[in-house]
Structure 1
Amino acid sequence: MGVQLRIAGIINESIADGPGIRMVVFTQGCSHNCPGCHNPQTHPYDAGEVIEIEKILSDIKKNPLLDGITLSGGDPFEQASVCSALAGEVKKLGLTVITYTGYTYERLLELSEQREGYAGLLENTDLLVDGPFILGRKDLLLKFRGSANQRIIDMDKTRKQGRLVLAEI
């Protein structure tokens, strides 16, 4: 048996979860419990289904229209090691990886020293949408995020410049 990921579901093609045409993998499990969350069914850690990442990769390879994948949830960092492995394989295919998280980038850096897979998932992410969803800051006009506190971070530029760089989207 290969590497397995617990998911809430997959959307094979989406234009709403990042630039271009993306496969969206909704991971299962989230501890943030943001009031007004768009995906509360993804919070329980024991719900959803278990799938091998090879199956996801196989489906990606069958679709030449994809620009990349979006890891959403739940919170992909709750399964960081497996999501990192999946993201690394997607990058080898020449595709991009967007990761959504309820953690801030700064908190992820702190946790990456303690929690397995966090640094790898950050390394394999091209765009990071960070921060909890805050109902009072909800804005339907924002691109690819739900509330104004959330940032879209260009991880490639952030790594190169050694400081947080927001994406120009």
Structure 2
Amino acid sequence: MNYDRYYTCDVVNGEGLRVTLFVTGCQHACPGCYNSSTWNRMHGQPFTDEVRDRLLDLCEAHDGLSLSGGDPLLPANRDAIAALCRAFKLRYPDKDIWMWTGYVYEDVCHLELLRDVDVLIDGPYRQELPHTLPWRGSDNQRLLRLRDGVPTA
């Protein structure tokens, strides 16, 4: 997996003070996408163990980790994202993970890695549906609070 960038002091991508990772690779190619520079999964820098460890260390003084892109759930990214989420939850069981994906929950609900995700914003970006809801790029996207990978009421 490659990544484009990460923010170490983010208050926009989720609740509280966050570390946010932007991975590369996205098959959705949504017209008007804010992060179209992250679509090609070969762009960016390799997500190494050293980068993972640096991000985890940075999370110590933050409320949580946010994962965006590109798409963290692009099939080529899933193993590395699963390992990052697992390592984060083992180290910080009381902190949360927020994830943005162009896939809808129903198409990825079988993924084990979602057991470690607390908030999933799902669905492709649709520029004809401008956002009025917090943390979403367009109003078709849902904010799903998960427990063990399943949406809560």
CA drift of 1:54 comes to: 4.0
| 1:156 paired to 2:147 | yes
Given that 2:8 and 2:58 are in contact with CA atoms closer than 8 Å, whether structure 1 keeps it comes out as no
**Taking structure 1 as reference, are residues 59 and 46 closer, same or farther at Cα in structure 2, changes over 3 Å only?**
closer
Residue of 102, 123, 126 corresponding to 1:131: 123
Given that 1:157 and 1:165 are in contact with CA atoms closer than 8 Å, whether structure 2 keeps it comes out as no
Report the identity percentage.
30
Matches within 5 A, 1:91-130: 91-94=89-92, 95-109=95-109, 112=110, 119-130=111-122
| TM-score with structure 1 setting the length | 0.81
Q: Distance in 1 between matches of 2:64 and 2:49?
A: 15
| TM-score with structure 2 setting the length | 0.89
Q: Distance in 2 between matches of 1:149 and 1:165?
A: 19
Which of 1 and 2 has greater Rg?
1
Given that 2:99 and 2:119 are in contact with CA atoms closer than 8 Å, whether structure 1 keeps it comes out as yes
Where structure 2 has 5 or more consecutive residues not aligned to the other structure, the ranges are none
Residue of 111, 133, 137 corresponding to 1:142: 133
Cα-Cα RMSD:
1.7
**Taking structure 1 as reference, are residues 31 and 158 closer, same or farther at Cα in structure 2, changes over 3 Å only?**
closer
**Taking structure 1 as reference, are residues 158 and 108 closer, same or farther at Cα in structure 2, changes over 3 Å only?**
closer
Q: Distance in 2 between matches of 1:54 and 1:97?
A: 20
What amino acid is the match of 2:64? G
Runs of 4+ deviating beyond 4 Å: none
